[in-house]
């Protein structure tokens, strides 16, 4: 049987750290403890090593001074008056030193060439050459037992008999390590007990501090859970710690977005009930009238009216759906070409314009103009602008769709030389369900509102002003073409 690659088989390789990461991800306290405890153990280990080193240095310094005193005492007892090397050992001093060392004490007095030796001749020699008058301390083994040795050398005042050249005498005193080890162990245990107490106290204080510091977060959690589902007011941040202000700000931002979406849904329901109630009532009346009409010619007129009313109702419904999508749908920007988009819109509306006797044209100075936008919503916005211009301009009107690039923006303009809007209506152009005073044709008043909402989703603006030379109307869409556009703050 051939081996199967676990990745190709759709299985996930074993990850030993996954349970630990899952355990960490559930609590801030766990993360802090997982970082704190190993860190404190590392510091405790370093402190233990430092305490052992400090205790060793302290023990060596204390006992080496005693060892040096014994060396000096023996050195002061050396005599060469008889022509040989003699040492008068102070018995009481050695006994006292043995009591102080709490172990065995050995000594050695010898010439540097080793011809004359007194005491324990097998004591380990110093690892480095001895300098006159400079003591040297080292550890070694004496008959399988570890000892600490103090060595000292000086030149003899009177050489031994038969020696003409200057001679040096070497004095060594060694002690076993029981006392040093006990002293070192005592210092380390005291240090460990002190450090352990400090770690325990620090851990307790840290745990209490975490619990105290997490109280505002728990209070914030209770405040959020206690809110009613319909409560969309921002949360107060005056009593919130500085570290939680970004969280409160994010919650308030989320509340504001939910409020906007709720308001958009409510607005859509209000708009639908406002716009569809009258057309549906009219349709019901016309259908009832048609059912009672016996004259075929009159019935045909009624059916034509019903068809027109249905077309207008369908158009209004589509406009309201487009407006609702522009208000609440998630942004889906893509790379577009403004020139290609404008050409496509002119081709789509040219047959309708020709049928109504309107001269529809395109003005695009550049061959290409790339930008980032939402194709479907932009086409809906431009369709509404072209529909309004063609419909309200009337036969013989000239309508031009112009596209141009500006600094950090793309501009679409729909300009006509029709009747336009009175100056007092220009300021309200773009409001939902607002129609100009001189509007004779039926409509919903949503075309400019849709265009304005689409412009806002693209971090742009909608401008409505008189056309060239004060004739007609010019509607201009300014759209941001940078990739960091706000998209109406819905990202």
Concatenated DSSP letters for 134-169? Answer: --EEEEEEETTEEEEEEEEEEE-SSPPTT--S--EE
In this predicted structure, the answer to whether residue 235 has a pLDDT above a threshold of 60 is: yes
List the Cα angle 126/128/129 in 5-degree steps. 100
Of 341, 344, 450, 457, the C-alpha closest to 405 is 341
Provide the 8-state DSSP code for 176. Answer: E
The pLDDT assigned to 135 comes to 93
The pLDDT assigned to 76 comes to 82
Segment 47-65 shows an average pLDDT of 83
The pLDDT assigned to 343 comes to 92
Angle between helices 447-457 and 375-393 (to 10 degrees): 150
User: What six digits make up the tokens of 458?
Assistant: 């693209």
Q: Topology of domain 332-489, per CATH?
A: Heat Shock Protein 90 (3.30.565)
**Residue tagged 């939910």 (tokens):** 258
Q: Which of 22-26, 33-37, 397-401 has the highest mean pLDDT?
A: 397-401
The pLDDT assigned to 3 comes to 45
Q: How confident is the model at residue 137 (pLDDT cuts 50, 70, 90)?
A: very high
Whether 232 contacts 255, CB under 8 Å: yes
The pLDDT assigned to 489 comes to 38
Provide the 8-state DSSP code for 260. Answer: H
Instruction: Give the DSSP H or E segment for 30.
Output: helix 28-76
Q: How confident is the model at residue 487 (pLDDT cuts 50, 70, 90)?
A: very low
Query: Which residues 6+ apart lie within 8 Å of 72 measured at CB?
Result: 152
Q: Which is higher by pLDDT, 266 or 14?
A: 266
Query: Which residues 6+ apart lie within 8 Å of 80 measured at CB?
Result: 86, 156, 157, 158, 159, 160
Q: Which is higher by pLDDT, 446 or 178?
A: 178
Segment among 208-217, 373-382, 463-472 with least mean pLDDT: 208-217
Segment among 111-125, 322-336, 405-419 with least mean pLDDT: 322-336
Segment 265-287 shows an average pLDDT of 69
SS3 content of the chain, % helix, strand, coil (to 5): 50, 20, 30
In this predicted structure, the answer to whether residue 241 has a pLDDT above a threshold of 90 is: no
Query: Which residues 6+ apart lie within 8 Å of 417 measured at CB?
Result: 393, 397, 398, 467, 468, 471, 472
Whether 51 contacts 191, CB under 8 Å: yes
Average pLDDT along the chain: 77
Q: Which is higher by pLDDT, 313 or 145?
A: 145
CA distance 147 to 178: 9
The pLDDT assigned to 152 comes to 92
CATH 3.30.565.10 placement within the chain: 332-489
The pLDDT assigned to 312 comes to 67
CA distance 195 to 47: 8
List the Cα angle 345/348/351 in 5-degree steps. 135
CA distance 140 to 123: 8
Portion of the chain with pLDDT greater than 70, in percent: 77
Query: Which residues 6+ apart lie within 8 Å of 167 measured at CB?
Result: 111, 112, 113, 155, 156, 159, 160
In this predicted structure, the answer to whether residue 395 has a pLDDT above a threshold of 70 is: yes
Residue 145 phi, psi dihedral angles, 5° rounding? -120, 130
Provide the 8-state DSSP code for 132. Answer: B
Segment 210-235 shows an average pLDDT of 78
CA distance 42 to 50: 12
Q: Kindly report the pTM of this predicted structure.
A: 0.43
In this predicted structure, the answer to whether residue 226 has a pLDDT above a threshold of 70 is: yes
The pLDDT assigned to 151 comes to 92
List the Cα angle 458/461/462 in 5-degree steps. 120
């Amino acid at each position: 049987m051939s081996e199967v690659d676990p990745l190709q088989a759709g299985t996930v390789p074993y990850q030993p750290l996954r349970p630990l990461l899952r355990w960490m991800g559930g609590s801030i306290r766990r993360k802090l403890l997982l970082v704190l405890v190993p860190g404190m153990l590392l510091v405790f280990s370093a402190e233990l090593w430092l305490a052992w080193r400090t205790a060793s240095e302290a023990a060596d310094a204390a006992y080496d001074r005693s060892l040096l005193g014994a060396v000096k005492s023996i050195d002061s007892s050396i005599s060469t008056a008889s022509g040989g090397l003699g040492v008068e050992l102070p018995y009481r001093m050695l006994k006292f030193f043995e009591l102080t060392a709490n172990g065995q004490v050995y000594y050695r007095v010898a010439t540097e060439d080793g011809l004359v030796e007194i005491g324990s001749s097998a004591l380990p020699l110093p690892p480095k050459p001895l300098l006159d008058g400079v003591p040297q301390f080292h550890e070694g083994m004496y008959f399988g037992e570890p000892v600490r040795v103090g060595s000292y050398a000086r030149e003899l005042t009177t050489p031994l008999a038969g020696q003409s050249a200057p001679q040096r005498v070497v004095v060594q005193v060694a002690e076993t390590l029981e006392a040093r080890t006990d002293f070192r162990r005592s210092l380390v245990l005291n240090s460990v007990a002190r450090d352990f107490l400090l770690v325990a106290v620090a851990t307790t204080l840290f745990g209490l501090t975490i619990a105290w510091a997490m109280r505002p977060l728990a209070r914030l959690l209770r405040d959020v859970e206690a809110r009613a589902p319909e409560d969309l007011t921002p949360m107060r941040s005056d009593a919130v710690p500085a570290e939680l202000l970004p969280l409160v700000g994010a919650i308030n931002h989320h509340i504001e977005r939910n409020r906007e979406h709720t308001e958009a849904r409510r607005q859509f329901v209000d708009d639908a009930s406002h716009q569809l109630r009258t057309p549906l009532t009219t349709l019901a009346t016309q259908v009832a009238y048609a059912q009672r009409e016996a004259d075929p010619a009159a019935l045909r007129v009624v059916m034509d009216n019903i068809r027109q009313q249905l077309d207008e109702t369908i158009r209004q419904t589509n406009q309201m759906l487009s407006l609702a999508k522009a208000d609440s749908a998630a942004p889906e920007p893509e790379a577009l070409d403004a020139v290609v988009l404008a050409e496509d819109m002119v081709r789509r509306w040219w047959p309708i314009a020709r049928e109504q006797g309107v001269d529809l044209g395109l003005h695009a100075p550049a061959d290409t103009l790339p930008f980032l936008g939402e194709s479907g919503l932009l086409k809906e916005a431009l369709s509404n602008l072209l529909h309004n211009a063609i419909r309200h301009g009337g036969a013989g009107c000239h309508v031009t769709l112009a596209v141009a690039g500006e600094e950090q923006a793309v501009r679409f303009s729909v300009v006509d030389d029709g009747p336009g809007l009175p100056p007092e209506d220009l300021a309200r152009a773009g409001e939902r369900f607002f129609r100009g005073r001189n509007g004779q044709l039926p409509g919903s008043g949503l075309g400019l509102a849709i265009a304005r909402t689409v412009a806002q989703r693209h971090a742009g603006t909608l401008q409505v002003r008189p056309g060239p030379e004060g004739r007609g109307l010019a509607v201009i869409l300014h759209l941001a073409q940078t990739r960091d556009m706000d998209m109406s703050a819905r990202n």
